[in-house]
Each structure stands twice: as structure tokens, then as C-alpha cells.
Structure 1
């Protein structure tokens, strides 16, 4: 991959953060309520997802959250680059977009800002910001993240299913599918992640 291709990928990611085009505007999917910042942090592995162009060259994608005293999360995205086998890590920070009102806890409306460094040209660093929703988690087995971007009469969705391990058992997959059905998220676009 050269710098030109890397720049094009970043531009494409800026235009269409989410990858599956669907007709109409973004559905109104509520975020997870009363997020427990003592239980949610830690390491999560991507188990399933909608195709996401910026992750196309990586396998064994994981995210590690560490809670900060100010209510934000230090975030590190890690993956293995498919061609070279190099392990890559992008540091970032997750903030919560809804205020914690009356002690009711955080909601899953989140914004992640990553420092993305081109692994082939280390001098190329770009700050990328992504807005998404955590729509469900049981803190132990799974977390479901969803993103949507409206654009000219269609919308582009992404879904990421995370687990505390690289796979999850059938009973957890059923919980995830039930949660996705409740939010009316199409599971036919889900692809298994590899690790």
C-alpha cells in the first residue's frame, strides 16, 4: 500500500464512515442506557461486523478501553495487518456525547477520535473521529456498536459485534441476534471476523 492509496482510504472513510447503503434516512435506534464505566472497560474482540473498508486489511481486531477520571475512555484499536503480519495499534479517546444528568449514568452515544498512523509511512498521522452508538452489552459476553450516516436519500450503516474472547458460544450469539432483531438491524450483512 502506498501513501496515495492510504490517503484515498482515509478520504473514503471521511465521506462514508458506514459501509452498507440502505434506502431512506437513518433509523432511530436508541443507545444503551446507564452504561457502567466500571464494567465496560477492558479488552473486546471484534467477532462479527458489517464490511468496513478501513478494516479490510486487518485481522484479529480488538479494542481496549481504560477508564479515565474525567469519564472518558482511553481507547486502543489493535489488529494484525493481513499482508505483512505486522501488529498495529492506533491510540485514541472515546467521549460520551450525552451528559450524565441526575446521576442516571452515561448513554451509549459515543465519539471516538483515533490517531491513525500509516504503518508504511510512519510520518503520516491523521486524527479521525467516528460517532457511533453502543446499543447493547451485558459487559461479560458481548457489546453491539452501530453507526449510521445519511447521505442524499440513503443511509450507510455499520455494525460491530464485540466479545471478551475471539469467538462466542451459540447461546451468546442468540442473545446478540435477539438484541439486533429488537433494534431492527439486518443480520444478513454480518460477516465473521477472523483471528
Structure 2
């Protein structure tokens, strides 16, 4: 693979990186593939929309609003979760996501969807690799979501993504194709 296609976790030193990254990442993404995650077992037709807000944290960093919509494949009922994504630093693609809940913050932080996410690789126009890792006592789990601007990828894009996953020592064989058949047009 050519050097310009190498994937890395290195941070960017350019102060404009975060603004450019989040501006290009905004908009609607479809879940195309994902690793197994029990709370999402019945979920299908999942979309994530990232929007800019005027809200800022104590450090002055911009927050993004995130809405996650899906359909329960067993009941047909739609679901929507709304929350905020806060960049970890000014030069990072890591976001701390907190979904809205009526539960106390200490408990809500542990709910599915809330947590620390990193965009490992994206071309902004077709795909993004979203990754999250959690450890609780002796249990360690990481999840991968492959997002697209459409509900599926071309073979060429999928091959590029799988190569990137392998470079990052993440096994693409553990991914499942998302349930995207007969999705309502409103999601």
C-alpha cells in the first residue's frame, strides 16, 4: 500500500484540524457493518446524524449534537436517541458521547451509545470507521461500526476499509452486515 494510504493513530498538530474534521464529518451516516453488540441485537436501519451546535464546554470546545435512529427488527418500532459529542481535544478525532437520559449521569454514562468513540479512518464522502473500547473490571470489549453516506458500499470501498482495519490490527471477519432491508425512508 502506498505511504499516503497508511493509517495511523497519530494526532495532527494543525489547530485547524478539529474544525475541518468535524465540519467534514457532519451530516447523516448509515450503519453498514458492525461488530456484535448485544444491546443492538434487534436494531436495524440505523442512522447517525452529527450536527454542529453553538454549545461549548468549559474549555471552549464545540459540541456536536448526535441523533441515532433505528428500527427494532422484531417489533417494527422506531427508536431515536439524542445526545452530545464532545471532542476530547482540539487535535483529536476522539469524541466523548453522552446520550440524553432521565437517569443520573453516573448511570447514564454506562448506557449503550454513551462512551468514548474514535473515528479511525474516513474519506468523509463514502465511509468512516468508528471504534469504541471499554473496560469494566476484568471485562474488555471493543466495538467497530462501519458507517457510510449510503446504506451499502461498493466492493472497491469495502476492500479499502477492510485493508485499513487489518493495518489497525482489527479483524474485519468479526463484522456483521447491518440490517438495512425494507428501511423506512424517514430514517
The answer to whether the superposition gives a TM-score over 0.5 is: yes
Count of residue pairs the alignment pairs up: 154
Q: Which moved more, 1:157-166 or 1:143-152?
A: 143-152
Q: Tell me the residue number matched to 1:144.
A: 129
Distance in 2, matches of 1:154 and 1:112, equals: 21
Distance in 1, matches of 2:43 and 2:11, equals: 28
Which of 22, 30, 36 in structure 2 is aligned with 1:51?
36
Q: Secondary structure at the match of 2:96?
A: strand
Any conservation in 2 of the 1:31–1:108 contact (CA below 8 Å)?
Answer: no
The alpha carbon displacement at 1:155 in A equals 2.7
5+ long unaligned stretches in structure 1: 1-28, 101-105, 118-125
Q: Tell me the residue number matched to 1:77.
A: 68
Q: CA RMSD in A?
A: 2.3
Moved over 6 A (4+): none
Distance in 2, matches of 1:191 and 1:157, equals: 14
5+ long unaligned stretches in structure 2: 1-7, 57-61, 103-107, 181-187
The reply on whether 1:132 has 2:111 as its aligned counterpart is: no
Scaled by the length of structure 2, the TM-score of the pair is: 0.74
Scaled by the length of structure 1, the TM-score of the pair is: 0.71
Any conservation in 2 of the 1:31–1:136 contact (CA below 8 Å)?
Answer: no
Q: Tell me the residue number matched to 2:96.
A: 111
Change (3 A) 1:115 1:31: farther
